Amino acid sequence: MGKNKNVIIVGGGIVGLSSAYYLQKEGHNVTVLDKSEMNWGASYVNAGYITPSHIIPLASPGMISKGIKYMFNPVSPFYMKPRLDLDFMKWAWYFKKSSTTAKVKLAMPLIKNINLLSRELFEDIKNSGDLGDFHLERKGLLMVYQTQKEGDHEMMVARIASDMGLEVTNLDSDGLNKVEPNVKFNALGAVHYECDGHTTPTQFMERMIDYLPKCGVKINKNEEVLDVSVNGNKITEIKTNKASYSADEVVFAAGSWTSMLSKKMNIKLPLQAGKGYRINVESPTNISMPAILMEAKMAVTPMQGYTRFAGTMEFSGINHTIRKKRVDAIAQGAERYYEGLKISEEDKSNAQCGLRPVTPDGLPYIGTSEQFENLTLATGHAMMGWSLGPATGKLVTELISDKKLSMNIDSFAPERRF
């Protein structure tokens, strides 16, 4: 087998573009199809974190009871909109089944390993000079807490992370002020995960979109896949609103929309869209350290040109409705932690949202389809899509190129049983 396959990638987010990046380096002919203008969505509005520290999957003990408690509060950080939708109800049942201590224990090293692989690949991309000098910093991530309860919980996670070889420091309020000297925190302390990094996502995406066509990758924007033709266990044709394509290999990397594509082919892929919001503040905030504000369940990232405040996990189906109450809750949450911070009405009115694809067990779907030998699925990264983009692209490329995999991905099998 080997070189020069024609590969169609459906989806132009971080996972799709990372796949294109590594596939073209292996000599494949790559076409990326995306139904949008490729300037919005989850790959553009995320917190930009590279997070080996995020070892605990979303599906963990207690999350369902929290979800039920939050369900009737539309400004809560974790919101499941009650709805009679069979796919959602099945997904919620699988999520409940996955939320066990034993399953979390199995997931943690896998999440850590793929994050460390991806962190290394971000560095490699930067060092290659392919995308020019893009923003990539390794200052770590502060988990900032205002209550001892949250502090104790995070210290327990920190001990596990430390035992797994990740660099972690506990900071009291004085230690916090030393690490972030130009702002005054209203907090008891923080856990500093020195292993983490951060980027400016829009900048990285724009550089990728600029670089890939120079290497022969075709990027077709505003092109939606309408139908997929199959013959036996192979995909033979991809039909869009503009053209039809035949390919040796197909990659579904369409984020939250991947389950809809899979449905056309009778592949059951339990996946729900988890909506997140972001506010960019362009005026100076003096914030220099990425931080997660624990009780508010939100993220703060100093990016090039602005400080980003991001948060919420809203399960309300595939829609881009911006709920003002939820945006206000993010702004108010941030203002409670940083003394003197004021997020303007204008900044709030420019808020955007994106849909993260969430699997029931918190592990991504990365692998070859059981039913179609020339289909690779790459989605379901939940809140770690940005962090895991390069690693996923590399693994997709190794699968398609019949190369030794950088890590064991059996647990990421797309058609696994829950």
Q: What is the residue-level pLDDT of the chain in tens, covering all 418 positions?
A: 457 999 999 999 999 999 999 999 999 999 999 999 999 989 999 999 999 999 888 877 777 666 666 666 767 777 777 778 889 889 989 998 999 999 989 999 999 999 999 999 999 999 999 999 999 999 999 999 999 999 999 999 999 999 999 999 999 999 999 999 999 999 999 999 999 999 999 999 999 999 999 999 999 999 999 999 999 999 999 999 999 999 999 999 999 999 999 998 999 999 999 999 999 999 999 999 999 999 999 999 999 999 999 998 888 889 899 999 999 999 999 999 999 999 999 999 999 999 999 999 999 999 999 999 999 999 999 999 999 999 999 999 999 999 999 999 999 999 999 9
Name, in order, each residue with C-beta under 8 angstroms of 27's C-beta and a sequence gap of 6 or more. Answer: 3, 4
Distance CA 84, CA 245 (A): 37
Distance CA 211, CA 207 (A): 6
- Strand boundaries in 241-297, DSSP class E: 244-245, 249-252, 272-281, 291-293
Task: Using DSSP, state whether 131 is helix, strand or coil.
Answer: coil
Structural domains of the chain in order of their starting residue, each with its CATH number: 6-412 (3.50.50.60)
Q: Are 186 and 144 in contact (CB under 8 A)?
A: no
Structure-token pair, residue 138: 């390794």
The two beta strands, 218-220 and 29-33, are parallel
pTM for the model stands at 0.95
In b/e form, how buried is each residue of 311-346, taking b as 16+ CB within 10 angstroms? bbbbbbbeeeeebeebbbbbbebbbebbeebebeee
